Amino acid sequence: MAEASDASATGELRLEPVQFIARTDAVMRLGAMMLGAGGSSARVRDSMERAAHAVGIDQLHTRVGMTDIVATTSRGPLFRTRVAEIRRPAVDADRLTEIKRLTNDLRPGTTAVELQRALDEIAARPRRYPDLLRLLGAAFACGAFALLGNGGWQEFVAVALAAGAGQFVRMRLGRLRTNEFLVVFAAATTSLLLYLGVAAALAALGAAGGQHDAAMTSAVLYLVPGFPLVTGALDLARLDLNAGIARVVYASLILLATATAVWGVAAVFQTTVAQTASPVFDEPVLSFVRLVAGFVGVLGFALLFDTPPAIAFTAAALGAVANVGRLALVDAGATAPLAAAAAALAVGIGAFLVGDRLRAARVTLTVPAVLIMVPGAAAYRAITGVISGDTLTAIQSGFTAVFIVVALAIGLTVARVLTEREWARPGT
C-alpha cells in the first residue's frame, strides 16, 4: 500500500509544471520585494510585467494593494495564481533603485534561477546608511523645516535635537516589532518634550527664540508618512483605488497618531501650535536661507529613506530650487495649492530629465523633493484643532493641508502624463 501511494505521489509530481511554477515564484518575489520597499502599485505592476516577459510568461494579471499582491500568470494552457503578503513594509529607496535597474536590464531568455539569484543579491544587501546617519538625516531635515517655517537658529537647534532623539526612539522601538502607531506616538512625544526642554534651556541662557510655539510641529515632521501619502495620491490618479485608498488611510492614521501626541503635549504645557511665524530675514537673505534649508531638508529625508548618494543629492537640488520657487509664488500672491502644483510639476519634469541618466526609480527622486512641501504642520494643526474644539483652526488648516496635497499629486501626475505614455491611460 505504501509503495502504491509513493508511486501515485511521484506520478502526480511529474504532472506539475515545475519550470512554470519557478518562473511565477520569481516574478512574484520581485513584486513583493519592490512593494515592501515602498514602490507604488503602478511601478510594481510594471516591473512584474517586465520580469514576466523576460522569463517566458505569456500573460500576467495582477492586483497590487498596499501590503498584498495577487497575481495570475499564464503560458499556453498553463496558469497559476499566487498571493503574497508584506507584513511590515518599510521604505528602502536603495532597494527600489536596485530592483528598477535589474528589471531594466532583464532580457528575454532570462531563467527563473538567474532572476532569483539577482534578487538574492539585492535582498542580502545591508541598509545603505548606518543608524547614526539616518538619525542625523531626520534631525537636519526637521531643523531645515523650522527654518523654512521662518524660525531662527534657536528653533533650528531645538528642533534638530528633538527630532534626532525622537528618531532614535523610533528606531529602537521598531526593532521590538511594537505596534507602529504606538511607536509613532512614543517618538512624537519624545521629540515634543525634548523640544520644549531645549527651548526652555535656551531661554534660561538668554538666547530664546521668538517663535518657539510656531516651530513646535517641525520637531515631529520626520514622522510625516511621505512615501505612502505621495504614492497613494499617484495610485488614485491612475484610478488604482485598491492601493490608493489603503495608502491614504494608512498615512492619515499615522498623522492622527502624531497629532494626538502634539495635542497632548501642547495641552499639558499650555502651548499653542495654531500660530504661524513671520520671516526673520529680509530678501535676498531669505531666499538664500530657503534654498539652503530646502537642500538640507530634502537631503536629510533622502538619507532617512536610504537613497543612493547621487540620487539623494539630485533630489535635494530639484526640491530646493522648486521649493524656493513655490515660496516666491506664495509671497507674490499666488494661492498655496497653485504654487504647490507648479513646484511639483517642475520636480516631476526634472526627475524625468535626470532619472534615466541616474538609472533611478522616479519615486526616489520625486518623493523626497516634494516632501518638504507636504503641509505636515497644517495637518497637525487641523487634527489638534478638532481634538481641542478649535473649529475655525481645524477647518482652515485641514482644507489647506488637503488642497496642497492634492495639488502636489496633480503636479506630479501631469508631469508623468507628459513624459510617460502609460500614464495617459489610467488603469492600464
Name residue 84's beta-bridge partners.
69
The rounded distance, in Å, linking the Cα atoms of 387 and 241 is: 29
Q: Which are the contacts of 294, defined by CB distance < 8 A and separation ≥ 6?
A: 144, 148, 316, 319, 320, 321, 323, 324, 372
Cβ-in-10-Å burial (0-12, 13-18, 19+) of 81 comes to exposed
Tens digits of residue pLDDT in 231-284: 888 888 777 888 888 888 988 899 888 888 888 888 888 776 655 666 666 678
pLDDT of residue 213: 58
Domains in the chain: boundaries: 2-123, 131-424
Instruction: Give the pLDDT score at 29.
Output: 93
More confident of the two residues 5 and 43:
43
> Tell me, what's the pLDDT at 208?
63
pLDDT band at 27 (very low <50, low <70, confident <90, very high): very high
Within 238-335, residue ranges assigned H as helices are: 241-268, 285-304, 309-331
Close Cβ partners of 335 (under 8 Å, ≥ 6 residues apart):
none
Categorize the per-residue pLDDT at 188 as very low, low, confident or very high, splitting at 50, 70 and 90: very high
Identity (one letter) of the amino acid at 100?
Answer: K
What mean pLDDT comes out for the span 336-346? 92
Whether 364 has a pLDDT exceeding 80, the answer reads yes
Task: Collect all residues with Cβ–Cβ distance below 8 Å to 264 and sequence separation of at least 6.
Answer: 189
Q: Look at residue 275 in the predicted model and tell me its pLDDT.
A: 56
Q: d(Cα 271, Cα 212) in Å, to the nearest integer?
A: 9
Predicted TM-score (pTM) of the model is 0.83
Res 12: pLDDT? 41
Is the distance from CB of 115 to CB of 26 less than 8 angstroms? Answer: yes
Confidence of residue 428 (pLDDT cuts 50, 70, 90): very low
Is residue 363's pLDDT more than 90? no
Q: How confident is the model at residue 6 (pLDDT cuts 50, 70, 90)?
A: very low
Instruction: State the maximum Cα–Cα separation within the chain, in Å, rounded to a whole number.
Output: 91
Decide: helix, strand or coil at residue 85.
strand
The model's pLDDT over 77-101, given as tens digits with 9 standing for 90+, comes to 888 888 888 877 788 888 999 998 9
Least confident of 44-58, 342-356, 390-404: 390-404
Q: What is the pLDDT averaged over residues 306-311?
A: 91
H or E stretch at 97: helix 93-105
| pLDDT > 50? residue 10 | no
Report residue 7 as a C-alpha cell: 508511486
Find out whether 306 and 335 touch, Cβ atoms under 8 Å: no
Residue 329 has what pLDDT?
92
Q: pLDDT at residue 169 above 90?
A: yes
Higher pLDDT, 237 or 117: 117
